[in-house]
Structure 1
Amino acid sequence: MLYSYESIISVKNLATIQPHVAVCLAAFNGMDWLPTQLDSILAQSGVSVTILVSVDRSNDGTEAWIDSRARNEARLVVLPHGEQFGGAARNFFRLMRDVNFSDFDYVSFADQDDLWPSDKLQRAHEILQKTGADGYSSNVTAFWSDGRRMRIEKSQPQQQWDFLFEAAGPGCTYVLRRQLACALQSLLNQRWAAVQQVGLHDWFSYAFARANGFRWVIDDYAGMLYRQHESNQVGVNKGWRAGLHRASKVLNGWGLIQSALIADLVGVGEDVFVQRWTKSGKRKGMFWLALQAKKCRRRHRDQVLFALSCLALGVLGRRPS
């Protein structure tokens, strides 16, 4: 079933000079952060927002709280509860599949635990209008409960194939024009079972856009406060534990397996570039991909690490399958 703004909320005049944004929020055990995050989204200036919430089955009262809040807030739409997704990606995919975007100008993603400056969506709209791009993301400022803050840079120049190997920044910064969101929704409906194997919805969304001729802009402005805590499914990858976690995923080939899956889903699986590292001999394909590192990641340091990772997989005789 498609949940649309018009069918759920009685509003006679949708015509407005302000762009209308569907904010897709995936929640799970979010009572520590949801109240302040929702307030920051509802306080957005220069745009009209509708927040559409999907709650992964929780045990901290999230469902009851969000239902209560929605009874008193017409801009909050809650999708039916009860499903267990087991991760943010599947929860976001549910939102992208089930919401009718036809009444919106833009679609954005929101995590449950961040804080949005009041001009976050307005700036995204202005940048998209100025550049003519279809998708937007930005840098962020990570913050911790002890008061630390750190700017996270994701706006390095886009490369020919970076979309197959990394996202365009945190998904909670993404804003998509309706045409892009609807095209992505169509693919989700066509390949729903296969998409459930994708681990990161933001990476997949960026890859779909780039692979299918949609233009993407990464803003060098840090437009959001990106909360870091022990429950983060994906954070800023800082510290030795995060380093070990990344190393284990590199050495077991998880990242490149995801890359190959995403390449197939977004329509470039048969491209010569992809075939060279997915179909060649295990060592040959990985050694060749190492030489393509500058085309595969945006940041220079990540290009070096990517090349070293491919070499390691080549030595171990592993490649995506």
Structure 2
Amino acid sequence: MDERSGGQGGRTVETAADVTPVAVLLSTYNGARYLPQQIESLLQQSFRSWSLLWRDDGSSDETATLMQAFAEQAGPCRCPPIQDQDGHVGIAGSFLSLLRRVPPDTIAAFADQDDIWLPDKLRRGVDALAAVPKDVPALYCARQRLVDENLAPLGLSPYRGRPGRFPAALTQNVATGCTVMLNPAGVALVAASQAPAGTLHDWWSYLVVSAAGGQLIADPVPVVLYRQHQQNAVGAPHSPLRRGVMALRRGPDEFMQLFRRHVDGLMAYRHALSPAALRDLEALHRALSGGLLSRLQAMRQVRSLIRQTPAETLLFRLWFLIG
């Protein structure tokens, strides 16, 4: 347990945040090259009240062996054993499987196998989430220091301020998974949902928390070295111009298929959503099964269906009308 100095006579004083445990969720897949540095960065965290829940998603390299060795060395308190017979389930399935194993009254922190956490990464997230009422679901995310595979600096990720609330969350994911932390109410909310095929754990968590009327927290301070290499599952966000060019090359089909699955997935979880989010979802659901006129009506009704820049919003609306 982490302690802060304070009070009279130099006595240590524990804050509410200090006694809130964190479960670090690590899904691994052929990550042996970078994994030791990530594990070492966990051990260097200034916040000490954390445990590690991990599962391997079917690696063919030494990843599972490395993780098993760490678990044996760390012991069951730091790295509790979990029984997992799911096999290869993909990124989202693997992380959500871990999320459902988080103990009650525990914060969850997603971790990627190839990054390096800065020492105050957990501390900043825990302190931010401690300010949210316990019954309100909350998601914390932060900026990243971008580095190449050898840790050479590449710059900072963009800071966009407060993440877009629902329904803007349907148009774009701005919660980078390696920084995402969920408070206990957020853990329970997302763990009880069923993520649609093709989504990612961070975007789905962002969607569910925002659609339920939860609190979204964006930290302008970078908390991880976010390694960029050819094996990245997603990688850092590109400039608006490059994102636009890439989007035009891909066309609307892939994006709109996922948009539909997100809408359908949230509709299936309607009992957990806010009335305002449900109204917007119902309008979008009707529009997606209708023609051009119904989609134009939905766009007029759901006015905050926007992306980060006007140009990106224009492209999204075009795709929404024709996709």
Which category describes the TM-score, using the shorter chain as reference length?
0.7 to 0.9
Q: Which moved more, 1:81-90 or 1:283-292?
A: 283-292
Q: Specify whether residues 245 and 16 from structure 1 end up closer, same or farther in structure 2 by C-alpha distance, changes over 3 A only.
A: closer
SS at match of 1:77: coil
What residue in structure 1 maps to residue 158 of structure 2? 153
What residue in structure 1 maps to residue 9 of structure 2? none
What residue in structure 2 maps to residue 180 of structure 1? 186
**1:284 corresponds to which letter in structure 2?**
L
Q: Specify whether residues 272 and 233 from structure 1 end up closer, same or farther in structure 2 by C-alpha distance, changes over 3 A only.
A: same
What residue in structure 2 maps to residue 214 of structure 1? 214
CA distance in 2, matches of 1:169, 1:39: 24
Q: Which moved more, 1:75-84 or 1:160-169?
A: 75-84
CA distance in 1, matches of 2:87, 2:210: 30
Asked if the contact 1:42/1:49 (under 8 Å) is kept, the reply is: no
What residue in structure 2 maps to residue 50 of structure 1? 51
**1:137 corresponds to which letter in structure 2?**
C
**Identity among equivalent pairs (%):** 23
The one-character-per-residue Cα deviations of 1:133-154 (angstroms, maximum 9, x if unpaired) are: 7321112122113624121125
Indicate yes or no: 2:98 matched with 1:95: yes
Q: Specify whether residues 212 and 313 from structure 1 end up closer, same or farther in structure 2 by C-alpha distance, changes over 3 A only.
A: closer
CA distance in 1, matches of 2:154, 2:62: 30
Q: Specify whether residues 61 and 242 from structure 1 end up closer, same or farther in structure 2 by C-alpha distance, changes over 3 A only.
A: farther
What residue in structure 1 maps to residue 141 of structure 2? 137
Q: Specify whether residues 245 and 113 from structure 1 end up closer, same or farther in structure 2 by C-alpha distance, changes over 3 A only.
A: farther
Q: Which moved more, 1:230-239 or 1:29-38?
A: 230-239
Q: Give how far 1:292 is off.
A: 7.4
CA distance in 2, matches of 1:112, 1:64: 14
Asked if the contact 2:17/2:130 (under 8 Å) is kept, the reply is: no
TM-score, L = length of structure 2: 0.78
TM-score, L = length of structure 1: 0.79
CA distance in 2, matches of 1:263, 1:140: 29
Q: Give how far 1:255 is off.
A: 3.6
The structure 1 residue matched to 2:252, chosen from 247, 250, 253, is 250
CA distance in 2, matches of 1:148, 1:89: 28
**1:30 corresponds to which letter in structure 2?**
G
Q: Specify whether residues 31 and 276 from structure 1 end up closer, same or farther in structure 2 by C-alpha distance, changes over 3 A only.
A: same
What residue in structure 1 maps to residue 172 of structure 2? 166
What residue in structure 2 maps to residue 124 of structure 1? 125
CA distance in 2, matches of 1:107, 1:231: 25
What residue in structure 2 maps to residue 5 of structure 1? none
CA distance in 2, matches of 1:292, 1:140: 35
What residue in structure 2 maps to residue 295 of structure 1? 304
CA distance in 2, matches of 1:58, 1:32: 12
Listed as ranges, the gaps of 5+ residues in structure 2 are 1-15
Q: Give how far 1:27 is off.
A: 0.6
SS at match of 2:130: helix
CA distance in 2, matches of 1:168, 1:44: 25
What residue in structure 2 maps to residue 308 of structure 1? 315
Indicate yes or no: 2:208 matched with 1:203: no
Asked if the contact 1:154/1:169 (under 8 Å) is kept, the reply is: no
Listed as ranges, the gaps of 5+ residues in structure 1 are 1-14
**1:233 corresponds to which letter in structure 2?**
A
CA distance in 2, matches of 1:44, 1:206: 25
CA distance in 1, matches of 2:293, 2:48: 51
Q: Give how far 1:162 is off.
A: 2.0
What residue in structure 1 maps to residue 285 of structure 2? 278
The one-character-per-residue Cα deviations of 1:250-285 (angstroms, maximum 9, x if unpaired) are: 344234223313432442598332233332333234
Q: What is the CA RMSD across the aligned residues, in angstroms?
A: 3.0
